[in-house]
Every structure is written in C-alpha cells, then in structure tokens.
Amino acid sequence: MTPEYPPESEAFRQSIREFLDANLPEGWTGLGGLPTEEVLAFLEQWRKLLHQHHLLAPQWPAEYGGGGLSNLETVIQFEEFAQRGAPTGGPNDVFNIGMIGNTILHWGTPEQKSHYIPKLLSNEHIWCQGYSEPNAGSDLAGVGCKVVLDGDEWIINGQKIWTTYGHLANHIFVVGRTEVGVERPHAGLTFLLVDMDQPGVEVRPIKMMSGDSEFNEVFFTDVRCPKENILGEPNKGWAVAMTLLGFERGEAGAVLPIRFREELDRLVELAKETGRNTDPLTRQRIAWCYSKVEIMRYLGMRTLTQFLAGKELGPDAAITKLFWSEYHKVVNELAVDILGPAAMVPSGRWPSNSISCDDPGSPNDSASWIGTMYSSMGGTIYAGTSQIQRNIIGERILGLPKEPSGR
C-alpha cells in the first residue's frame, strides 16, 4: 500500500487550503477555543459559507446543490478540514447530509430528490432519526411503531426513543411496521419521511448525566404522512434502513483517525501537565492507545481505497464502527485516571458535541475530558451496539452461523 495521492490532486488540495486560510478566523485553533454561544454562532455562519461555495456536500451532484466533486476530491477536502480543525458542516448535518441526504440520493425518486435535497442543504429542513424504540433497543427488526395506509396517507402511532436533536428538528425519518405477523421480523417495515410540525407529534427531552438534553422521546398519535413520502417500496424499508446505517457507520472511516490522533496528542500533553508521563503503567496505556490509532489509520486507508474505487460501504463498515467506539471508551478512561481527583470536580468547558475528536482544539481541562468520557459510553450503543456490530462481522463477513434466537 502506498498512501499517496496522484500529482494532479495537489492543485485541488491547495485550493482547499487557500479557502481555509481566507475564511477561518485569525489564530484559529478549533471550536474548543470558543465559548459555547460563540460556537453556535460560528457554526451557523460557517455552514452558510460552505453552502455558498458548494462545499457542504461536495460529492453530491451539482444539480441538487452539491459540489459535483470526485470521490478523491471529497476525501481531500475532508482531510484538509480535519487537519485544520474546521467543521465540515453544522451540528445537525450528520443527519441532514451524512444520513438522510445520502439515502435520498440513493433511493429517492427524482421528485423526492428535487424536493428534499435543496431544503436540507439550506437547513429549511432539519432532520432527526426515528429508529430505536423502548421495546426493541438496537433490534431494528423488532420495531413496533404502527403504520397503516388510510387512502392517500399513512397513519402513524407509536414511540421512538434516543432521538438525537429531536427537539430541534422539523422532520424525522421513521422506520415503521406496515405489516404484522410476518415470518421474518425485518420484513413488513417501511421507511417514511415525516413532517414533525403537525398535530400528534410530541417530543420529550431526556436529561443526560452531563445535564444536557441531546436525546429525546418522540410520540406519534395519529400522525399523517402522504402516501408518496416513503423511500423504496412499502414493506421493504429494511434495505433502505441498512443503506442509511452504512453511511452512518462508515462514512468517516478515513477522517476519524486524524481526529483521534489529535485527541491522543492532547492526552499526552495532559499526562505531562500532571506529571503522569513518567509513570510506567500510564506510559504503557498511552502506547496501547497509540497502536490502536495507527490501526484505525490503516483501516481508514482501506475504507478510502474502497470509496475511491466506487464501492459502497457494506457490512465491513461494522469493523470500523466497533473498533473506534470501543477504543474511545478506553482512551477516555485513561484520561480520567490521569486527571485523578480533578475528575471528581470537573472545571473548564464541556465539549461542544458528543465526540471531542470532532472538535479539534478542545481545551485540555477536566470538564472537556469528563464530558467526552460521558459521551464515549454512548458510542458503543448508537449506530448499532457493539453486540450488533459483532453479529454483523461474524455472520455477514466471516460466514458464521446466526446467533440462536431467544439469547
């Protein structure tokens, strides 16, 4: 493997660097250097700037407001942004662009693409994810949110939970059950595009241990959705849902290692500041973390190679997701041990999002690390639990027998 780009790509890389030089504030060190209210203000203006320059969704077709860039150019842009600690979008674009936007482009009709894509790029539509349910957990095939066709409309009744940013969104993509009593549990599901600004939709924030309310419960009582507002076919929403999860789990495989390395560098500085860098056990644990970040870097190169070859992310995306989410718990546990008593009375600034490595320039204070430690625990749950990822790897990659039902 030769991790080098063709010479002709360097001109585009230089253009991205010039864009960042011209538009990032002087002395930019990342979002971590800003107070919380300034973070939100910056992200709002930055997102508008990216949209104006067609860099918000660089790989999307230009006819829908994307940049029309090649896969290679898209990766180069994301790499340069990651190196400079520049956000690639707004707080909700993991849903608007990374998940539902990509999925609409893959599965949507021409009418759906023309209607939804410009609105989610402009942020007129703000999306959240309606997958998990209280009685199903990470078993997407076990969802029970009832959806019935009534003339030209679907009628939705049920509940979703752990809905990130549901209190900020005005649209939700819902996996609901349109057929019951099917032999295979993943059959009979339909993928719906639902307007939340209507009677019957109730959003209840969930208080987290950090004190924030990023997650929500969403209740549907006779909520209506036009018949045509589904992706794919009725009762065949499982394939659409899996496409979206592939985008969610694997899209950042080539970029996350850069940010995890920045986070590890901060951890090394923390060890030096606290005098723990001379402790043999701490040094050994940091070396272990370094080895995992390097493994992620090579996993990222493999993902990049597949991406550049035009291959869609398949079940192997589960490997990357499992690896980084399990690692992130361990590195943050080490940070808490290095902080020692300071971890019990955190001070400073909490991270501005759920993974501090998405926020290069985070301050090296106890609040930043403790907030990230809290969030890292959820990394092994959202986008499919570690148990689900191991099943995918075992059954769909290694060809092992399926896990017995009822266990």
Residue showing tokens 């493997």: 1
SS3 category, 223? strand
DSSP classification of residue 137: B
Question: Has 63 been annotated as catalytic?
Answer: no
- 273 C-beta neighbours (distance < 10 Å), count: 11
SS3 category, 280? helix
Active-site entry in 80, 133, 214, 248: 248
For helices 256-274 and 317-339, what crossing angle results, to 10°? 10
Q: How many CA atoms lie within 13 A of 405 on its CB side?
A: 4
Question: Radius of gyration of the chain from Cα atoms?
Answer: 22
Alpha-carbon distance of 355 to 332, in angstroms, equals 11
Token code pair at residue 201: 């939709």
What are the C-alpha distances in Å from 158 to residues 54, 180, 212, 235, 300?
38, 14, 25, 17, 39
Q: In a 10 Å sphere around its CB, with 0-12 CB exposed, 13-18 middle and 19+ buried, how is residue 5 labelled? A: middle
- The one-letter code for the residue type at 243 is T
380 Cβ contact list (under 8 Å, min separation 6): 325, 326, 329, 386
Residue showing tokens 């992706």: 231
Stretch (H or E) spanning 150: strand 146-150
DSSP per-residue string spanning 304-345: HHHHHTTPPP-TTHHHHHHHHHHHHHHHHHHHHHHHGGGGGS
Token code pair at residue 385: 């639990």
193 Cβ contact list (under 8 Å, min separation 6): 100, 112, 116, 171, 173, 225, 229, 230, 231
The residues annotated as belonging to the active site are: 248
